[in-house]
Chain A
Amino acid sequence: MCNNCKSEEIYKDIIDEDIDISLLFPVIEKYGKVKGSLINILQATQDIYGYLPLQALNYIADNTENKRSVIYGVATFYTQFRLKPIGKYLILQCHGTACHVNGSKEVSKAICEELNIEPGQTTEDGLFTLEDVSCLGCCSLAPVIMINGEAYGNLTPSEAVKVIRNIRKEDIA
């Protein structure tokens, strides 16, 4: 908790759960002494845990020259960083200009309805996390979504739903 204002406000975005902190040791070993590498540390942390757990952030603060406030500031400034765990499949919905004029809104609506979540949320079964991104750089295939690094282009609302149902089917199989 913040010692000045006793505010709980900051913690509402952060999940505090037990993690294996030893996974972070090599990251601190590699970047701890390199000045200006906070973003690299956070990227490596997110690669390990899938998000930025509170314990990990505190550990980074205690073992590098970065204050907790600075770390929280950086972690919330960049869209890449997440303070909550994500599902097994991360769906990035492109909302770039080309996707926008080619109907990304309708595609997004269909996906939200299929998964029954809003962008930024994870499905209850922990399978899918949905996020909006500004541009994936595959504009000629608009509208595009990317699922765990693989891009799906030229989508219609019904095709997008099909893609998701297929993944769900394969996951069960």
Chain B
Amino acid sequence: MKVLVGLGSCGIAAGGKKVLQSITDSIEKNNLDITIEPTGCVGMCFYEPLIDIIDGDKKYTYGHVNAKIAEQIVESHLINGQPLDEYIIYTNEKPDAYVKNQLKVALENCGIINPEKIEDYINVGGYKALEKVLKSMTPEEVIEDIKISGLRGRGGAGFPTWFKWDAARKSPGNEKYVVCNADEGDPGAFMDRSVIEGDPHKLIEGMIICGYAMGASHGVVYCRAEYPLAIERLNLAMEQAIEKNYLGENILGTGFNFDLRIKMGAGAFVCGEETALIESLEGKRGMPRLKPPFPAQSGYWRKPTNINNVETLANVSWIISHGPEKFAEIGKDKSKGTKVFALSGKIKNGGLAEIPMGMTLREIIYDIGGGIKENKKFKAVQLGGPSGGCLPESLLDTPVTYEDLNKTGAIVGSGGMVVMDETTCIVDVTKFFLNFTCNESCGKCTYCRVGTKRMLQILEKITAGNGTMEDLDELEELALSVKDGSLCGLGQTAPNPILTSLKYFRDEYIAHIVDKRCPAKKCTALLTYSINKDKCTGCTLCSRKCPVNAINGTLKNPHEINQELCIKCGNCHSVCRFDAVEII
């Protein structure tokens, strides 16, 4: 018997370490001969902390475990052989809908193996692809395999991976670099963190194969500093890989050398753009370079460089070992394989879901994600972070492929999928994104630097109730200019949230401007707080909490808000225990 405890960052945040401690203690106390191991994130963040009990070919998964439940599980399941049904969320014989509808390629080992043990990775077939590549394939054959597989960049733009590898291979020069972009800056995306935390060797193997294919013997992982656990596990994995001679000099006796190091980012969203990332790698301010020359010709220290996202590289070993045709069978049209999405926001089952390309948004949100929290009404789904767009219910049957999503104005992007319900104000969310891009603009291009600020100001004006219909035209005009006038992806895509929300949710803007009303009741300047006399018990709490003394009333008598004094801070609404404060 074996016990696995999910210890990704999210598992730890939910209390996974306490659970691990509790199980370890109970096992020791009872002198049980059971191994207990940490594992990465299986993707079901909404059930964290999670533990798996593997008994022969049976696997039981327990969810929402805490230290006390863990003790009970040890006693009942491990000692007496009685699975505790009330805490079991699924077994391998009866999989949960969240698991059943997924197809795992990049995440195949996450939540299954111990990421801190290279033996675990090797036991599930790890480094076989590397051995095959180094011992029996030419670099051209590797690139051909990637071409047949149809793998495209998973970081945002969806550029064919083989093309980048091939261009870097054909660039003259002996010194070349493979760079892995693990600067996952999109708010709402965390699949790269999960891959590195849960299966770091898969990334390392993908990078070495890429190095062999393009003729590079140096690799750098540019990882954001906010992911300390990922960096720790990747460092450990690199040490183990060197020890086993998968990394370093004369790998597996084939004469191929490849070294790898980690460079920590310092917190700048624009560094997700590849030329800005290179500047940052060189120790400078992360400001994008003009393209061409492309990094494949002149990148890190002006040497040919190939930059791929973590998830892209995590697909490589699977393609080599299962065959590129098998990978190409998954997906739809020109979008092959799977894509990992990070489901979050107002969704019941938030977490990571890896799905075959071509699945519709509705299937992802309702069949896997379980629908909207508290069964509220769906309003929009935001794809691709600050570079993407909000799509309405009428587009939920859009298949998730690069082409189909681009047609709607949103993008696949890095895979953030934030679901919003009727209580989310689209204008407010758009303002949120513009605030983000405005802060993160590096300042190099005038259109991006000034344009995002101007667009933000207009949105602020609208949410404050001072907007005019002309503002909408100006927003649109500015958005198109910023798109055209910016050098890098940040500026070129920053207007996407505005353009998509104007296209699909224009009536919500109009409600703010013409009716001076926020339908989702989020924009405070447009709200009026009032006290329902029938519900008010006269407890005086709101009156005491009001920072401007705008609430009048005596004990046990209904209170009243003086609208002239009210600053709409919402304190009365949040403290009232009788739901007597209403927002109109």
Contact = CB atoms under 8 A, between A and B. Distances in A.
Contacts of B439: 134
B188 interface: yes
Contacts of A137: 9, 184, 189-190, 193, 226-227
Contacts of A36: 281-284, 301
B133 interface: no
B268 A98 contact: no
Interface residues of B, number: 57
A139 B352 CA distance: 10
A150 B228 CA distance: 11
Contacts of A144: 13
Contacts of B187: 95-100, 134-135, 139
Interface stretch (A14-22, A78-86, A118-126): A78-86
Nearest to A136: B226
B562 interface: no
A85 to B, nearest CB: 18
Nearest to B350: A140
B188 A135 contact: yes
Contact of A139 (B188, B263, B266): B188
A149 B228 contact: yes
Contacts of A81: 266
A40 interface: yes
B312 interface: no
Contacts of A150: 13
Interface string A24-47: 000000000001111110110000
A101 B429 contact: yes
Contacts of A96: 187-188
Interface stretch (A1-9, A151-159, A164-172): A151-159
Contacts of A56: none
B357 to A, nearest CB: 22
Contacts, number: 142
A127 interface: no
Instruction: Specify which of A98, A141, A149, A150 lies most central, judged by the most chain B CB atoms within 10 Å of its CB.
Output: A98
A97 to B, nearest CB: 4
Contacts of B283: 35-40, 74
A79 B13 contact: no
Contacts of A142: 344-345, 350
A100 B520 CA distance: 14
Contacts of A74: 283-285
A55 interface: no
B75 to A, nearest CB: 28
A141 B45 contact: yes
A102 B346 contact: yes
Contacts of B186: 135
Contact of A39 (B185, B227, B280, B346): B280
A133 interface: yes
A151 B268 CA distance: 21
Interface stretch (B416-424, B468-476, B528-536): B416-424
A134 B344 contact: no
A158 to B, nearest CB: 9
Nearest to B194: A137
A137 B267 CA distance: 13
Contacts of B284: 36, 38, 70, 74
Interface string B390-419: 000000000000000000000000001010
B13 A101 contact: no
B385 interface: yes
B122 to A, nearest CB: 28
B54 to A, nearest CB: 24
B327 to A, nearest CB: 27
B424 A139 contact: no
B268 A77 contact: yes
Interface of A: 35-40, 42-43, 70, 73-74, 77-81, 95-102, 106, 133-142, 144, 149-153, 157
Given A35-B283, A134-B439, A141-B14, 8 more contacts: A40-B264, A95-B187, A98-B344, A106-B570, A106-B574, A137-B190, A141-B10, A151-B12
17 contacts: A36-B284, A43-B266, A74-B283, A78-B268, A80-B266, A96-B188, A97-B416, A98-B345, A101-B346, A101-B424, A106-B570, A134-B269, A138-B10, A139-B342, A141-B14, A151-B12, A151-B13
